[in-house]
Amino acid sequence: MGNRDIRILADAGELSRAAAEEFVRQAEEAVRTRGLFTVALSGGSTSKAMYRLLANDDEPLLRGRVPWGKIHFFWGDERHVPPDHLDSNYRTAHEAMLSRVPIPAENVHRIKAEDPDARNAAADYDQQLRTFFFPRRMTVEALPRFDLVLLGLGPDGHTASLFPGTDAIHEQTRFVAAPWVEKFHAYRITLAPPVLNNAACILVLVSGEEKAEALRTVLEGAYQPDQFPAQLIRPTLGSLLWLVDRAAARLLRLPG
Ligand code: 6PG
């Protein structure tokens, strides 16, 4: 796959740094050429380490280079909880980064997962995407195109909140889905695969021994996206960069 690249970093710390440097490079480029940068953040601990690094005052070559005021922050998925809940992906990013850097409030496009009905939260986020990406159009034939979509990988092969066996895997019309995830006995809200795959760049961060089996299956196993939804991630007109550490890459049969 020509537009897929896999980079193996020594450890989680080097992975976070490589991801942060890639974020900065892309943000600078997008703002230089288009005046803004749109990014869909992921949840989980791997991306949280990168958020912390980007916001770190002791990292002038990272934080100091980010055009914070020109970035629009979205989320690739959210848990069905209020924004101040410990499980909230918004709260994770807010605490690790957004509350520590100069970002205009109107540049933060949160999934309103406090809504008791997850389908309403998904519909609201869908409308936010339409209003932002297609402000002057009543009907929309195109898909939102993020400059960057950040993703993680679960040990079960999920990414965003596309979990094995859930109907969100097959969502082809709505921009946003609200799948019931039995193993959590909860709803999630997630960007649908076509929107994820319409990104200019998808960056997947994978760290740790516990991800090795899932990573090998997703990258080198038979194509079974219902069981390993991360296999759905194949940008149509964009690039896909897997940033993985040695522990997660242990079972890969890559050359070199
Ligand atoms: C979420 C994330 C999810 C995450 C993976 C990896 O809402 O949990 O969006 O897709 O990225 O589960 O999480 P870790 O980085 O914590 O392993």
Ligand 1 centroid to Cα of residue 63, in Å, is 24
CB 160 less than 6 A from any atom of ligand 1: yes
CB 197 less than 6 A from any atom of ligand 1: no
Into how many domains does the chain fold?
1
Asked if the model's pLDDT at residue 191 lies above 90, the reply is yes
17 belongs to a structural domain: yes
pLDDT band, residue 98 (cuts 50/70/90): very high
pLDDT of residue 139: 72
CB 224 less than 6 A from any atom of ligand 1: no
Kindly give, in sequence order, each residue whose CB lies less than 8 Å from that of residue 149, ignoring residues fewer than 6 positions away.
Answer: 39, 40, 76, 191, 196, 199, 201, 202, 203
Regarding pTM above 0.85, the answer is yes
Asked if the model's pLDDT at residue 202 lies above 80, the reply is yes
pLDDT of residue 2: 53
Average pLDDT over residues 218-247: 97
Residue nearest to atom 12 of ligand 1 (CA): 154
Residue from 15, 45, 46, 111 to probe ligand 1 pocket by mutation (most atoms less than 8 Å from CB) = 46
Asked if the model's pLDDT at residue 141 lies above 80, the reply is no
240 belongs to a structural domain: no
243 belongs to a structural domain: no
pLDDT band, residue 241 (cuts 50/70/90): very high
CATH at residue 216: 3.40.50.1360
| pLDDT tens digits along 75-90 | 999 999 999 999 999 9
Residue nearest to atom 14 of ligand 1 (CA): 44
User: What's the chain's Rg over C-alpha atoms?
Assistant: 17
pLDDT of residue 198: 97
| pLDDT tens digits along 115-138 | 999 999 999 999 999 999 999 877
246 belongs to a structural domain: no
Asked if the model's pLDDT at residue 205 lies above 70, the reply is yes
172 belongs to a structural domain: yes
Strands (E), the chain: 4-9, 37-41, 71-75, 77-79, 148-152, 176-177, 180-181, 186-191, 201-206, 239-245
Average per-residue pLDDT for the chain: 96
226 belongs to a structural domain: yes
206 belongs to a structural domain: yes
256 belongs to a structural domain: no
Structural domain boundaries, residue 216: 4-231
Q: How many CB atoms lie within 10 A of CB 104?
A: 11
pLDDT of residue 136: 82
CB 46 less than 6 A from any atom of ligand 1: yes
Q: CA 178 to CA 42: how far, in whole Å?
A: 16
Average pLDDT over residues 208-218: 98
In ligand 1, which atom is closest to the CA atom of 154?
12
Closest of 195, 198, 184 to residue 237, by C-alpha? 198
pLDDT of residue 1: 43
Ligand 1 centroid to Cα of residue 85, in Å, is 16
In ligand 1, which atom is closest to the CA atom of 210?
17
Ligand 1 centroid to Cα of residue 229, in Å, is 13
Average pLDDT over residues 157-180: 97
Residue from 159, 196, 202, 210 to probe ligand 1 pocket by mutation (most atoms less than 8 Å from CB) = 159
